[in-house]
Each structure stands twice: as structure tokens, then as C-alpha cells.
Amino acid sequence: MKSAIAIRHVGFEDLGAFAPALRAAGYQIHYRDVGEQEFRMPDPLKTDLLIVLGGPIGAYENDTYPFLAEEIEILEQRLAANRPTLGICLGAQLIALAAGARVFPDRTKEIGFAPIRLTEAGRSSCLAPFSEEPMTLHWHGDTFDLPSGAERLASTDLCENQAFTMGPNIIGFQFHPEVSAKGFEKWLIGHAAELAAAKVDVPQLRLAAARYGPELQRKGQATASAWLAGLDG
């Protein structure tokens, strides 16, 4: 069985809708929970697939959170070897940093359910399930420059780089294609302080999750399945 390691920064930001697709493709999932267990792998290139999940910190805050430097080092090795690697939100920002791009605070926070706008490349990519139903979850305050050699897959009015690919094996999502309604209440509790500071209407956010949840689950699984099917080697 193939191995997939997911670096998880907070317990409720997990693989979500991606997990069933990974298992269906024959991957055994292993979480590495930052702060609870050693997440550094003896050989970063050995695992078949590495996924770096989201978290409420800045990818550039390695002085405050030293483990970020270790994650970037792992990602640099994965990118150099073109090993299958996927990042979501903070994970996408860390991939961008590892690829030499800049990560920085965006002009405003983007929190809530809103559509993405796919590029031509995005419409023919694993994000094709979002072509007709572009609604998804956004939850970030930072953004990044597009890494050299990367191809933009999606944007929003507030954030130009919502998804990018560096060949078939490397992909990053600034938005959260893995999220569905299941477990979403944990997001509302875990990010309560941020939601209050941003003056986000929590009941409305909960209602939106329930409304879009089934479709988000389907699109998330389809996106992950399509990306896994297109891996090179």
C-alpha cells in the first residue's frame, strides 16, 4: 500500500473530503501532528505523498514557530526531487516559500464561502469539478507570489493566487477544497477569536456550510481523485 503523510497544525484542519479519495486510490494515511509528535521524517523523499495542511499562523513566522523552517526544508527536498506534494492554505504558502516565492499579509482577510474563478489551465486541471459549481471555503489573511515556473489555476477578486501547480506532482490550494459541512463546527470554535476580530457572522457561516456542504464534499473528493490519477511516477 502507498503511504501518504499529512502534516497537521491544528486538529480540526484535517484532510476532510480528501481522505476518502486517498484511501480509494490505495494510500494509507498517517498524520504528523505538530506539537504532539515528531513530524520530521527520516527520509522526506521516502513517503509516496506529502500533504501539508492549514493552520492559523504565517508561513514566514519561523522565528516564532521554528518548526516552520523544518517544514520548508522538507518541502525544498520534495520539490527538488519532484515528489508528489500537496499544500492547503498554510501548506500552499509553505510550498511557495520553498519554491523561492514571497509570502506576505494580504490586503484583507478572506473568510467565508465564495466562488473561485478558474483560469484556462484550471478548467482542464483537477479543479474541473469547480467549473460549474465554483463555491468553496476561504479562510486566510496571507497570500503569496506565484512561484517561478508555476501555473495559476484559480483566483478570486481578493486573492490572485488561489491555486497553482508546478507540474503534475506539485499543487497548492490557498482556498479549502477539502472542507465540507462535516466537522465544520470545530472550525467555528477553534477560530472563534479570529472570527470575532474579523466581525464574521458565525450563524450565517454555519448556515452556508450546511447549504453547500454536500456539493463541497463531492467536489473535494473529485478534485483529490483527479489529482492523484494524474501523478507522474
Q: Which domain holds residue 158?
A: 2-229
Query: How would you classify the pairing of strands 2-8 and 49-52?
Result: parallel
d(CA 77, CA 80): 5
- Can you say how many angstroms the Cα of residue 97 is from the centroid of all Cα atoms in its chain? 14
pLDDT for the residue numbered 39: 58
pLDDT for the residue numbered 40: 64
Query: Could you give the percent of the chain with pLDDT greater than 90?
Result: 92
Lowest mean pLDDT among 39-53, 78-92, 179-193, 199-213: 39-53
d(CA 88, CA 127): 14
- Give the CATH number for residue 214: 3.40.50.880
pLDDT in tens, 116-126: 999 999 999 99
Residue 11 host element (H or E): none
Per-residue pLDDT averaged across 142-150, rounded?
97
Per-residue pLDDT averaged across 124-135, rounded?
96
Residues 6+ apart with CB under 8 A from 194: 56, 111
Query: Could you give the percent of the chain with pLDDT greater than 70?
Result: 97
Mean pLDDT across the chain = 95
Residue 180 has pLDDT above 90, yes or no: no
pLDDT for the residue numbered 44: 84
Pick the closest to residue 160 from 222, 215, 78, 96 (CA basis): 96
What is the number of structural domains in the chain?
1
User: Structure pTM?
Assistant: 0.96
pLDDT in tens, 37-69: 665 666 889 999 999 999 999 999 999 999 999
pLDDT for the residue numbered 37: 65
**Band (213; pLDDT cuts 50, 70, 90):** very high
